[in-house]
Structure 1
Amino acid sequence: MHVVEGINRTLELKGVLYNCMEAAKVVMNAEASSLMLLDEMTGDLNVSIPTGPVKDKIMGMAIPKSKGIGGWVISYNQPFISNDVTESDIFWKDLTDDFTTKNIICVPLRNEHGEAFGVLQAINRKDGKPFVNEDVAMFESLALHASSAIERSREYESMKGRLHDREVQIAEIHHRLKNNLSTICALLEFDLNELSDSKSRRAISAANSRLRAVAIAHSLLYDQDEIDQIVLSKYLGSVIQNIEKVFKDPEKEIYIQSSIEETDLDANRAMLCGMIVNELLTNAYKHAFEGKRGGEIVVTLKEAPNNEIVLIVADNGIGFQDQGDNSSTKPTGHFILKALARKLKAEISFKENPEIGAACLLKFPV
């Protein structure tokens, strides 16, 4: 029961096979044991993690399915006992000259459909006694647990493989999205050169910055091992750099200061957070410093003790020029921000002082 418990605790296939071999030797009080698995490609039986004095020599050897006791057991899906293999027509040969098989008990390993996919065998009973029919029931019980564990481990390995393939596919999707969005951004920048109207240029620049904010997120997801988490400090730092590049005005000196803690967030919410920061910075660049030679914007993000993330974007400009109205048919700065905040399940509030500037406070659960 201790051996069976150990087998059932293991998921990794190599560990399962090793535990099965040790269990077979201990339970049957045998000098050696081996487990052979059927190779579906070649039809041979492969010796997997044997135990005993010659285990290193026979490891990985292949036995034709039509040969030997193991071949007979898997072909007929029946157990086999022999206490003198020299008298058995089924016995093929010893796999090495350094070991002599005297007696053997061999049972099939079956899948959930009852089909044999391998054999479990114990060789040369230590106490000099013969293997008897009563031993078959015990050995088959052990083989049942071993079979179940091997099938479970194979499914686990298969799931890991499928998960890896899925992660590769998702990473490729992020890569393609990033490339496609970057191409669109490049085309928008090209179109900017054809526009002379300042209002149109600002509108195109705003659209460009939004697309860049999304493209940056997909780029980060592609370049890292975690496909569903984004480090906000890295992401928001890139969003800020992009805003500085897109809205740089040689006639104004606008500086952005940032203090952002290294907080991980799932990709969807991180992207929403990035879009909110993008909107706030865009609005500040467009409206906060009208009639002024420049100013400062401060972006702060930290994790509060109450398991909340607090984001503050403040400036020392002239205050909010566009308060917005939910009843308006025209999308406004605050209307967009409130819509994004609802998706993030965040509380959003706006504060302004004509002498100090304006600030937006955002709170949302970690």
Structure 2
Amino acid sequence: MPFSTEILTPIRVLYLDDDAGLGVLVKKALARRGHNVVPVVNSAQAFECLAQGGFDVMALDHSMPGETGLDVLARLGPRSERLPVVYVTGSADARLALQAIRAGADEYVIKDTATEFYDLLIAAIENVTERWRLKRQKAEDEQAVREARDRAELLLQEVNHRVANSLGLVAAMVRMQSAALADPAAIAALQETQARITAIAGVHRRLYTSDRIGLVEVDDYLEHLVGELQASLADEEHPYPIRLSAERLTIKTDKAVSLGVIVGELVTNAFKYAYEAGATGDIRVSVQQQAPAAVIILTVEDDGKGFDPQSASQGTGLGSKILAAMATSLKATVAYVPRPSGTCVTVTFPLD
């Protein structure tokens, strides 16, 4: 069998065969290819050499006094914890070859006195060693990729943590500023600004506490957001509880930001305009998936005096512009559902 003339990395081979003379011949044949063979004549010597380490592959004869190569294979342990093995035997019985492969051997060579045996053994040893080298290299590369990914995820979580903290600080400063004002219009404008900041901060807070990078659990996120809106908007004149019903859904970060801002705008409008002064009522927010269309439906509703979407804006109109921009980002459809009393707004957008 012809061999490549390329320069090979020397292979250190442990050759177990009770025929000491053949061991010497194998050592000489592999030495001509630049490889180093340590021949041993029994399994006790073999395991002693293996304990010392430094071998790349083991060639294992089948027939030995008191045991077989299959017995030695069983004692070597699982493939992940041992050297690659080339099984050598004088039998041409295919059943023995299959038995050896099933027992964990990586290659099988028939032993005879012809020169071809040495060529086949060399080829088997070199092929097995190269396959295992590639396997180890692949495992090392995959481990390096996993470690790099883990480092990137930790870094991203830290970034989200810092962004959430910074936005939380900004929201707190806006709250303090609104508390120092007497102008109702200015206070309302700052409250709206705080709600928008809170919506975005909540996304980053969910991201750095989640194991799923780039994805947000809608129910957890909205529960936190609704709590923040309740704390910032509710007062003696607007004592309306916000009631949330949200399915367990996962969406991407950019969708979560848009969804949060939309919820903030609609809830803020409901607090400001839904009920007459002194009236009681609640504001309801629900999120559900519509199957099989794979769309999400956000609903914000109240039992107040109602709203005509064709009427002129009661404020600056900024909220309507932000709502339209976020809806465009979500590729969403915004609809005002007719009803005898109160206001019901639905926002429908694709899940993917």
Change (3 A) 1:296 1:135: same
How far apart in 1 are the matches of 2:236 and 2:34?
86
| Map of 2:298 onto structure 1 | 311
One-letter code of the match for 2:307? Answer: F
Quick check: 145-154 or 291-300, which moved more? Answer: 291-300
- 1:323–1:333 CA contact under 8 A, matched in 2: no
1:260-316 CA deviation, whole Å, 9 max, x = no partner?
Answer: 111111222122111111110011111222445232211121111121111111111
Q: 1:120 aligns with which of 56, 70, 86?
A: 56
**Distance in 2 (alpha carbons) for counterparts of 1:291 and 1:321:** 19
* Residues 1:363 and 2:348 are matched in the alignment: yes
Give secondary structure in 2 for the equivalent of 1:146: helix
Matched, 1:320 2:265: no
Runs of 4+ more than 4 Å apart: 82-85, 128-131, 321-326
Q: 1:119 to 1:272 in 2, by over 3 A?
A: farther
**Structure-2 separation of matches of 1:233 and 1:78:** 66
Does the C-alpha gap of structure 1 residues 192 and 321 become closer, same or farther in structure 2, counting only changes over 3 Å?
A: farther
Q: 2:57, 2:129 within 8 Å by CA — same for their partners in 1?
A: no
**Contact 1:178 1:215 (C-alpha < 8 Å) held by counterparts:** yes
Counterpart residue number, 2:186: 200
Q: What TM-score do you get using the length of structure 2 for normalisation?
A: 0.68
| Partner amino acid, structure 1, of 2:44 | F
- Unaligned 5+ segments in structure 2 are 1-12, 18-26, 65-110
* 1:333-348 → structure 2 map (5 Å cutoff): 333-348=319-334
- Specify the SS of the correspondent of 2:45: coil
More helix by share: 2
| Distance of aligned partners of 1:264 and 1:100 in 2 relative to their CA distance in 1, 3 Å threshold | same
Are 2:173 and 1:187 aligned?
A: yes
CA distance in 2, matches of 1:323, 1:343: 23
The answer as to whether partners of 1:299 and 1:311 remain within 8 angstroms in 2 is yes
What is the CA-CA distance between 1:251 and the residue it aligns to? Answer: 2.7
Task: Please state if 1:79 is matched with 2:35.
Answer: yes
Partner of 2:45: 100
Distance (Å, rounded) in 1 between the aligned partners of 2:33 and 2:280: 85
| Structure 2 SS opposite 1:257 | strand
Superposed, 1:1-366 pairs within 5 Å as 78-81=34-37, 83=39, 99-101=44-46, 120-123=56-59, 125-127=61-63, 132-305=118-291, 306-320=293-307, 331-352=317-338, 355-366=340-351
Q: Which range moves more in the overlay, 130-139 or 265-274?
A: 130-139
Could you report, residue by residue, the CA deviation over 1:35-68 in whole angstroms, capped at 9, with x for unpaired residues? xxxxxxxxxxxxxxxxxxxxxxxxxxxxxxxxxx
How far does residue 350 in structure 1 lie from its aligned partner after superposition? Answer: 1.8
* TM-score, structure 1 as length reference: 0.65
Hey, what's the Cα distance between the residues in 2 that align with 1:324 and 1:121?
83
Displacement, 1:351?
A: 3.2
Cα distance in 2 for residues equivalent to 1:162 and 1:323: 54
Structure number with greater Rg is 2
Taking CA–CA contacts closer than 8 Å with sequence separation of 6 or more, which of the two structures ends up with the larger relative contact order? 1
Structure 1 position 152, deviation (Å): 1.0
Instruction: Please tell me the residue identity of whatever aligns with 2:303.
Output: N
Q: Secondary structure at the match of 2:305?
A: coil
What is the root-mean-square deviation of aligned Cα atoms in Å?
Answer: 3.3
Instruction: From the two aligned structures, give the one with the greater strand fraction.
Output: 1
Change (3 A) 1:313 1:124: closer
* Cα separation, partners in 2 of 1:126 and 1:233, compared to 1, 3 Å: same
Identity of aligned residues (%): 24
Please say if residues 319 and 352 of structure 1, whose CA atoms lie closer than 8 Å, have aligned partners that are also in contact. no
Distance 2:183 2:331 in 1: 37
Number of aligned residues: 270
Q: Which residue of 1 aligns with 2:70?
A: none
- CA–CA distance in 1 between the matches of 2:248 and 2:59? 60
Q: Deviations over 1:68-102 (max 9, x none)?
A: x9xxx9xx9942335479xxxxxxxxxxx983259
**How far apart, CA to CA, are the structure 2 residues paired with 1:319 and 1:263?**
30
